[in-house]
């Protein structure tokens, strides 16, 4: 269970995140949506302790994150930021083995090798594991990065715009992988997603943000309604229901 309480962040005079209080349920996928500049990524950065919050608290499994040591937090929570431009020539295996760093500081033991192997398997990267990451396609690189996060073996996984630069095929693949991480591996996934339909189809819960404030939160059914989405994005939309799934039609 993760709880965000009255969280705020200012850059200069600009309030990027204002007074956000929201619970995040364990073992489910929560998608963070909202227009550009709503403060979604900033929220994720604060939750993962990459940047400090100005006021407010974040509790992870009962402990406030400021009381967590960075290294201990790294065993509970991992984060993958958008746009990882990798110019460095690492093999996929080397990259994934970095995920074990919080546990062994780079001195890999047998357990590490097992976890790395499993992560590679899970992401279907076994045959590519000796390829250099700067030779990979966008989709493959994203999978390799996720494999690294999986090797970190944390309960909470934060993904900032994981669909960035992916085509339809890889986007669907990525969403299925994220769903699988929740359903098969029992992870709690929190992600920022721009495509509202992917969020509606794959996530359990939605946090909607607008201009730094919490616009609303709840299950997908509660949140994906014509009124809420129209007001959130300030455009006209239609909601189509097909096979009990909701689709947002916008153009």
Provide the binding-site residues for another protein, judged by CB under 8 A: 45, 48-50, 69-75, 77-81, 84, 87-91, 94, 98-99, 101-102, 105-107, 132, 152
Residues 231 and 236: their CA atoms lie apart, in Å, by 9
Nearer to another protein, 156 or 215 (CB): 156
Strands (E), 86-167: 156-160
51, two tokens: 């940047």
Residues 160 and 79: their CA atoms lie apart, in Å, by 8
Nearer to another protein, 77 or 248 (CB): 77
Q: Minimal distance in Å, beta carbon 228 to another protein?
A: 31
Sign of CA dihedral 227, 233, 236, 242: negative
Strands (E), 34-90: 55-60, 63-64, 77-80
Nearer to another protein, 80 or 196 (CB): 80
Nearer to another protein, 149 or 196 (CB): 149
Q: Minimal distance in Å, beta carbon 119 to another protein?
A: 15
DSSP 8-class letter at 128: G
Q: Minimal distance in Å, beta carbon 225 to another protein?
A: 35
Alpha carbon 153 to its chain's center: 14
Nearer to another protein, 133 or 220 (CB): 133
Nearer to another protein, 59 or 101 (CB): 101
H helix or E strand, kind and range, residue 181: helix 168-183
Residues 97 and 100: their CA atoms lie apart, in Å, by 6
Q: Minimal distance in Å, beta carbon 34 to another protein?
A: 21
Q: Minimal distance in Å, beta carbon 185 to another protein?
A: 18
Q: Minimal distance in Å, beta carbon 96 to another protein?
A: 12
Residues 131 and 152: their CA atoms lie apart, in Å, by 21
Number of helices followed by number of strands (H, E) in the chain:
10, 12
218, two tokens: 């709840």
Nearer to another protein, 43 or 200 (CB): 43
Q: Minimal distance in Å, beta carbon 218 to another protein?
A: 28
169, two tokens: 């095929």
């Amino acid at each position: 269970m993760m709880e965000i309480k009255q969280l705020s962040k200012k850059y200069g005079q600009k309030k990027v995140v204002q007074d956000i209080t929201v619970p995040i349920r364990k073992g489910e996928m929560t998608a963070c949506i909202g227009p550009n500049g709503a403060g979604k990524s900033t929220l994720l950065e604060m939750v993962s302790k990459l940047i400090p919050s100005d006021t407010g608290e974040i509790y992870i499994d009962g402990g406030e994150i400021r009381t967590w040591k960075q290294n201990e937090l790294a065993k509970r929570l991992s984060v993958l930021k958008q746009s990882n431009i990798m110019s460095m020539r690492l093999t996929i295996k080397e990259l994934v083995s970095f995920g074990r760093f919080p546990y062994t500081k780079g001195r890999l033991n047998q357990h590490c090798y097992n976890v790395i192997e499993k992560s590679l398997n899970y992401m279907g990267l076994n045959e590519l594991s000796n390829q250099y990451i700067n030779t990979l396609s966008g989709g493959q690189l994203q999978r390799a990065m996720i494999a690294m996060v999986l090797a970190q073996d944390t309960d909470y996984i934060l993904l900032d715009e994981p669909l960035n630069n992916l085509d339809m095929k890889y986007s669907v693949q990525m969403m299925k992988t994220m769903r699988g991480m929740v359903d098969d591996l029992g992870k709690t996934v929190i992600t920022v997603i721009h495509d509202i339909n992917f969020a509606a189809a794959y996530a359990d819960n939605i946090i909607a943000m607008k201009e730094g404030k919490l616009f609303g939160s709840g299950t997908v059914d509660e949140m994906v309604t014509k009124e809420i989405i129209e007001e959130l994005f300030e455009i006209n939309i239609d909601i189509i229901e097909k096979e009990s799934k909701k689709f947002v039609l916008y153009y």
